[in-house]
């Protein structure tokens, strides 16, 4: 294959991706180290922290994750806005579950390129759905 033929897929990929979003976020995957009963006393503080991060515009999305057929969460995922791994790590370290040693976490940088979502607002009853 010639060099020109090798460059063609790369050029096509660059053409296709030039308008992608490219939004950098950080994903915290958190795994319990304790039983649900041991974690419950700290749950209100954890949830209050999540609401605080949301109010500050840091929290993009968060929630528990379940394996197929599972009824109990096996891990949590928290997606945050941060300017660096260091800043994201500070945010993750401040989670009350992590501070108490009840959960451990991994941290990844995520570049959002493709996807979509839909917001439907009904004026008559002031309801909203997000798909």
Interval 53-60 mean pLDDT: 96
Residues β-bridged to residue 76 = 30, 64
CA 1 from centroid of its chain's CA atoms:
41
pLDDT at 95: 98
Query: Across all residues in the chain, what is the average pLDDT?
Result: 94
CA dist 75 and 50 (Å) reads: 16
pLDDT at 45: 98
pLDDT at 4: 61
Per-residue pLDDT band for 5 (boundaries 50, 70, 90) equals low
Interval 38-58 mean pLDDT: 97
CA dist 114 and 110 (Å) reads: 12
CA dist 28 and 106 (Å) reads: 6
CA dist 87 and 65 (Å) reads: 24
Per-residue pLDDT band for 3 (boundaries 50, 70, 90) equals low
User: Selecting from 1.25.40.10, 3.40.50.12500, 2.40.50.140, 3.30.70.1060, what CATH number does the domain 22-114 have?
Assistant: 3.30.70.1060
> If 0-12 CB within 10 Å is exposed, 13-18 middle and 19+ buried, where does residue 80 land?
buried
Which residue shows structure tokens 């795994």? 31
In the predicted model, is pLDDT for residue 130 greater than 70?
Answer: yes
């Amino acid at each position: 294959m010639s060099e020109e033929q090798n460059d063609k897929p790369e050029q096509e990929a660059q053409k296709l991706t030039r308008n992608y979003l490219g939004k950098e976020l950080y994903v915290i995957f958190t795994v319990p180290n304790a039983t649900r009963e041991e974690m419950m006393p700290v749950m209100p503080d954890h949830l209050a922290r999540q609401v605080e991060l949301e109010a500050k515009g840091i929290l993009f999305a968060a929630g528990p994750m379940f394996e197929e057929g599972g009824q109990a969460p096996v891990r949590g995922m928290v997606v945050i806005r941060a300017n660096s791994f260091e800043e994201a790590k500070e945010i993750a370290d401040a989670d009350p579950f992590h501070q108490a040693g009840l959960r451990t976490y991994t941290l990844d940088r995520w570049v959002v390129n493709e996807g979509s979502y839909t917001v439907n607002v009904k004026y008559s009853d002031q309801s909203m759905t997000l798909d």
